[in-house]
Amino acid sequence: MDIDSKILIAAISAGSAIAGAAITQIVSIFLSHLDRKHKKKNLLREKYEELALLVHESNSWINEQMGARSLDDLKSEFPENARKATVLAHIYFPKLRQTCEKYVNACAQFQIVLVNNHQFHPDYDCGTQATNANLEALAAAVEYVRSCRQEIEDKIIKYSRSYAKA
């Protein structure tokens, strides 16, 4: 064997080793990318499910507000689940931001109607007092909250294919 053959064999061996290492790195980077993408989809799906659950559970806040026995109880409760859903929408789901904000604002308006129509009667809950004082305003506030929540639920269903796939 002459020197040129030995150099050619060494170059081919070295080239094969380098090519093997490069291919391994490329495959590793590709698999890592796919894994990160899968984890991101799983996170979005989990957060989407959490947002949907928060919107669903926020309905109980309305009943709690209607059943409050004092103005202090009424003022101390905020629609926490609706606010948490709005935060999730701002962080992860831009298509739901405005709808969630609208829902939180509707909850605030509902609470204002109850506060404004509170008659300081200790034997009746806030819902009964608001019904007695201004049924039309209360009915309008309840309907607005309901329609805003329905709008979120409709959009949750509409955008589930883009946000909740994993």
Q: In the structure, what pLDDT confidence band is assigned to residue 163 with cuts at 50, 70 and 90?
A: confident
Predicted TM-score (pTM) above 0.85:
no
Specify the higher pLDDT residue, 73 or 165: 73
Q: What residues contact 152, with CB distance under 8 A and at least 6 apart?
A: 55, 85, 96, 99, 100, 103
**Coil/strand/helix, residue 159:** coil
Interval 103-135: pLDDT, tens:
999 999 999 999 999 888 888 999 999 999 999
